[in-house]
Amino acid sequence: MNLAGAKYRITYEAFSKFSGSLGKVDSIEMLGEITNRHLKYLFNFRAFRILLLDKDSISGYTFSKGKIYAHNNSENILDYEKELLEKHTPFSEPVKPDSLPEYLSELDLQNGVLWGWYISYPDYRICVSLLSDDNVKFNHTDSDIMHMLVDSITSKYRQICLSEELKCKNETLQDAIAQIELKNREIEAINSNQQNVINNRTEELLNKNKKLLDLSRLNSHNLREPLTRILGLIEVADHLDNSELKETMLPEIKISALELDTIFRKVVQQSEEEAKITINKDGGYE
């Protein structure tokens, strides 16, 4: 096996290990850590940078000397990346003094070269850039493995974002379900209370009706007795002379009339007392 063949075999073995490690990644932070751990075995670079942009967010990393710098806002977009996003044209050019961020100024580059690529995915736009120099040279032939790396990072990044979005929606759904259950319990309590009120009112009404019926029967019986006597005495009165009527009949009629009056008074009193009880229980009338 020649040297080039051995290099590719080693590189693709390293990439296989990287791909296997990605399976355990479940956060954006961990994605950066795993990439940083395996990146140096895939191709040569002094600094490697990837920026992922969608319509709502910006995320990315810069890897240099085993360090990771995370990026998550528009201020992190560099000038050459803005040009990449606009023109989509890959480039390879000498490093300009002001083209690098401050945290990379510590690199002691020997004839530094800045590489840049624009890659478009259905959900993301990707800016990839790489620094190399005479001491650590990036080879054009490593572009394929670099693109495979970007594909893997982007795919995992999208998976993590979708998982977090799903988790957020599930939490929101669970909160909504909890709120619905709470409202259902409140409605059940209200319905139960209303049913109790209806039952109590119905029982009160039945009791009132029973009392009124008992009162009606009692009063009907008590009133009928003196009234019947009075009616009977009046019928007999037609057959009596004035003396008998005055001495015998009128006193009896008077007694029955007074008894009837007493019964009427009791009926009125009982009715008034029952009405007062109802008014006080219901809180009065408007």
Q: What is the mean pLDDT of the chain?
A: 85
Q: Are 72 and 58 in contact (CB under 8 A)?
A: yes
pLDDT score at 285: 45
Residue-wise pLDDT for 164-216, tens only, equals: 888 888 888 888 888 898 888 888 888 888 888 888 888 888 887 777 776 66
pLDDT of residue 20: 93
Is 51 within 8 Å of 60 (Cβ atoms)? Answer: yes
Q: Residue 99: which residues within 8 A CB-CB, separation 6 or more?
A: 78, 79, 80, 114
Four-CA torsion 219, 224, 230, 233, nearest 10 degrees: -160
Residue 268 has a pLDDT of 75
Which is it for strands 47-53 and 58-64: parallel, antiparallel or unpaired?
antiparallel
CB under 8 Å to 75, separation ≥6 — which residues?
A: none
112 token code pair: 């530094």
Q: Where are the domains of the chain?
A: 3-172, 173-282
Is the pLDDT reported for residue 148 higher than 70? yes
Mean pLDDT of 73-93: 91
User: DSSP state, 142?
Assistant: G
Is residue 161 within 8 Å of residue 169, measured between CB atoms? no
pLDDT digits (tens, 9 = 90+) for 2-39: 666 677 788 889 999 999 999 999 998 999 999 999 99
Contact 127, 81 (CB under 8 A): yes
CATH number of 3-172: 3.30.450.40
Tell me, what DSSP letter sits at residue 239? T
SS (H, E, C) 70-108: EECCHHHCCHHHHHHHHHCCCEEEECCCCCCCHHHCCCC
Q: What is the 3-state secondary structure (H, E, C) of 33-73?
A: HHHHHHHCCCCCCCEEEEEEECCCCEEEEEEECCEEEEECC
Contact 227, 260 (CB under 8 A): yes
- Between 90 and 286, the more confident residue is 90
Q: Which of 124-138, 152-166, 242-256 comes out lowest in average pLDDT?
A: 242-256
Mean pLDDT of all residues in 71-100: 89
Percent of the chain scored above 90 by pLDDT?
36
Q: How confident is the model at residue 275 (pLDDT cuts 50, 70, 90)?
A: low
Q: Considering just the CA atoms, what is the radius of gyration of the chain in Å? A: 51
- 127 φ, ψ (degrees, to nearest 5): -110, 125
Higher pLDDT, 158 or 254: 158
pLDDT over 90 at 118, yes or no: yes
Number of residues that this document lists for the chain: 286
In the chain, DSSP assigns E strands to 47-53, 58-64, 67-71, 91-94, 113-120, 125-132
Whether pLDDT at 252 is above 90: no
Sign of the Cα pseudo-torsion (4, 5, 6, 11, in order): positive
> What is the Cα–Cα distance from 208 to 76, expressed in whole angstroms?
82
Q: Is this prediction's pTM over 0.75?
A: no
Helix (H) or strand (E) holding 144: helix 143-237
| CB 237, CB 249: distance < 8 Å | yes
From 64-73, 75-84, 215-224, 257-266, the region with the lowest mean pLDDT: 215-224
